[in-house]
Amino acid sequence: MIEIKLSAKVEYGVRAMAVLAIYHQDGPLPLREIAEQEKISLKFLEQIFPGLRRSGLVHSVRGSRGGYVLSRAPAEIKIGDIVRAVEGPITPVDCLSEPHNDFCCHRKDECLTRQVWEKLRDRINDVLDEVSLDELVEVKPSETLT
């Protein structure tokens, strides 16, 4: 079994954003296209994108010939942004998201393990904020800058 695991929503969300990054120039890209390319259920994608829009990472164009467009350049979008947009704040244990209560951990003054999870949370966020979308879709050596 595995214990630190990304949800399918996050995985698909990042994959979908990567596709959007590739076709960034070509105007709005409908989810149908992304679904096809990445073999993801259209209906599931439809469920994922509202979060990305609310977080301002993409903007939507409704109606025929509509679709989604990145609202910033791929270089300005970090993987962490996507992950947080899809699922909310990243935190390894509930204890960290709530205001500290003494029942969270039952040792006298302070939760001993809390500091480890805090460190873990911070590092996870760091890693995810180090990589941006453009790095993800970087083309192979063949098409690097002239």
Partner DNA sequence: TTAAATCCGACTAATTAACTCGGATATTGT
Partner DNA sequence: ACAATATCCGAGTTAATTAGTCGGATTTAA
In the complex, least distance from residue 122 CB atom to a second copy, rounded to whole angstroms: 9
Q: Does 4 bind DNA (CB under 7 A)?
A: no
Using alpha carbons only, give the angle 38, 42, 44 rounded to the nearest 5 degrees.
100
For DNA, which is the closer residue by CB, 27 or 122? Answer: 27
Contacts of 49 (CB under 8 A, 6+ apart): 16, 31, 58, 60, 68
- Interaction of residue 32 with DNA, rule CB under 7 A: yes
What is the rounded distance in angstroms from the CA atom of residue 81 to the CA atom of residue 53? 12
Candidates 32, 47, 54, 97; binder of a second copy (CB under 8 A) is 97
- Inter-residue contact 45 to 34 (CB < 8 Å): yes
Among 42, 71, 117, 129, binds a second copy (CB under 8 A): 117
Query: Which one, 69 or 104, has the nearer CB to a second copy?
Result: 104
